[in-house]
Structure 1
Amino acid sequence: MDKIELIAPCHFGLEAVLKREILDLGYEIARVEDGRVTFYGDAEAVCYANIFLRTAERILWKVGSFRAVTFEELFERTRELPWETFIPRNGKFWVTKAASVKSKLFSPSDIQSIMKRAMVRRLANHYGIEHFPEDGAPYPVRVFLMKDEVTVGIDTSGVSLHKRGYREVSGKAPITETLAAALIMLTPWRRERILVDPFCGSGTFPIEAAMMAADIAPGMNRSFTAEKWTNLIPKRLWYDAVEEAGDRIRDNVEVDIQGYDVERSVIRIARRNAKEAGVEHLIHFQERDVRELNHPKKFGFVITNPPYGERLEEKAALPELYRAFGEGFCRLDSWSAYMITSYEEAEKYFGRKADKNRKIYNGMLKTYFYQFQGPKPPKRTRDAV
């Protein structure tokens, strides 16, 4: 089992960002589809992908794929998969999630129960037992059905990878860590450039940027389901990956990353989260209204997630809020601004049409990533920083 296929789900619209991350880790891409990237690796790749990828939602070890249009076909094709290769005699196994799009089989609960029965039948024949203790390591199975094509994988991550372990408490309308990281990667921002988030909330954008600047692996301080799979992944591979993550950290990097919010209690939460992430010393958080948006230096970046106005009473305040944001940005000579929002009239009140606009789904919510691009700094300035 030297070469395996791994599936990395991600936010719809951000597949190209994840693909680049996987290539940077040195792995070969198999397929890029809506909401996921499949790549080739080995047991070590399971460790590295979970620990180092910033934009993947989880990592699945692909068991197989097949076509099924009836529940009988689903049972038989699932039973034919080599489950004994993955799940030991005492393994705990279940179909934790089934998703179906444009397929004849669409009932998640029926798909889950039929696949579980098929797995039991296969493993019972292999191990020669009828009842499984299921008191060992967990092997949660996830299945996607797309146009009657069934893809089956075992979840190596467990809790979603956006759970870095630093954000115990969130502010209003939080943006996930994986989405924030992907959006930062869509911009030209680098650690040498200024970054300001005037609606920082729980601090996700500044914290993710600081972790990138210091080269802190997003998964190095959390656990994963596959750590218990000693029949598939030797423990030393996890230790080696975490050790490399520790060696990469540049704790003394010099950056100018700032986060503002109008609410003092929210700023306290952001500082607490930054401390948990190990980047408190790299970010300046401040209680400040967006009307006071300013910075003395040139060629910086605003990357932010302003309020959407999901509640009616908040929606009335949005025109003035976005107008104030736009006026503040006008004072930032030569800067670029990037904002994700579902507010349809964002450009109108911001006072400028975006140079680029990317549609991205934040969960089930359709949002837009507006990009207002400023000039590049002179070459001598870039060389000096």
Structure 2
Amino acid sequence: MNLKHVFACIAVSAVCHTLPVQAQTNVLVYGRLVVGVVNYSAYSDGRGSVTKESSFSSRFGFKGSEALGDDLNALFVLEGGFNPDTGSGGVISREASIGLGSPYGKIRFGFMLTPLDDLHGIVGPGYLSNASNDNLNGFWANGYNNSFTGASADGSSPCIQTSATQGNANTFAFDNRYGNSARYDSPNMHGFSFATHLALGEPAQNLNCHSTAWSSKLQFNSGQLVAALAYNLHHNVRDINLDDSIVLFALGFNLTSQINLSTYLQHIKYDNIGSHPLQQNGIGVRGRFFQHSHTFELAWYRGGEGKGDQTPVFSGIFTGAGTQSDLMIVGYRYDLSKRSQLWSQYAILRNGSHAGYELGGAAAVSASARLGQHPQAIAFGIKHDF
């Protein structure tokens, strides 16, 4: 056998040895780029209108599975968010999880979204959260942030809270990513599915906290109708002996192949030591109309009046008479292809006389300047999935 034949045999042997691995392992590289220009209206304090370019939940990730035999699969996800308008972002800022999947469901460990967030896809106003207010105070789960990955957000609480980083962050959010957590998702059983997610707070700074966060949902999906009920409980998260909770119900229905209607109801409660608990109800309705490459969206969301006593650190929910607020959204999307879209959105907030909610992404103004105001935003941009 000459040298040429030896090299050929080595090459064939190497390929044959790698084929089983390739057959068992599947890794997907995926992502989303969403960039838009937003104009925010002026406020009564003299601040003029603001126009800015923004990224809207752009992300990049890897997810994969490996067949282990007997219908068992190893699973992983690594996902980071980034801002194509500025070039900033985190490598693994959105999810880092590993787990196992089988016909009996899947269990994952690490840092990931909770089952409550799954309801956002049923009735939330899409991915344009920075130009609307679905992820901010009062309208959807009172905010959007990460749990058990940083230190106390306000610097005064003895417990490690729901902030992604130490400093000023929303420690009252329920629509979270949980760190130090385990999540189980059941298989689909005649349209029904169940998910539960438990997170454990880091005990290093204060062993008396024993902070835990728990999120669960029950969902039914027939294809035409989807209904889901979710519950989150935060125990010793803001402080020792405090239990905060949310109950959220979402319902979506395909009236025809071109019309989808959806709604949600939520109830939020925050414990107060020695005071009445702070509570708030929320409601929302959304309609979408699909026509070939066109999608039209009309939505209304209400953050109700806050009841009870305000928490020692401002919760983001305004309390008392006149603290309700309404968010109205009109949206339009045009599909350039299966992966690319042009989109536009108009949003207006109508604050009650003693409510000061603000559209996400707008420049901060004083609370007194926001009370009773009706801020507006007009946005347009482009999205590409890969």
> Comparing both structures, which one devotes a greater share of its residues to strand?
2
> Comparing both structures, which one devotes a greater share of its residues to helix?
1
TM-score normalised according to structure 1 size: 0.25
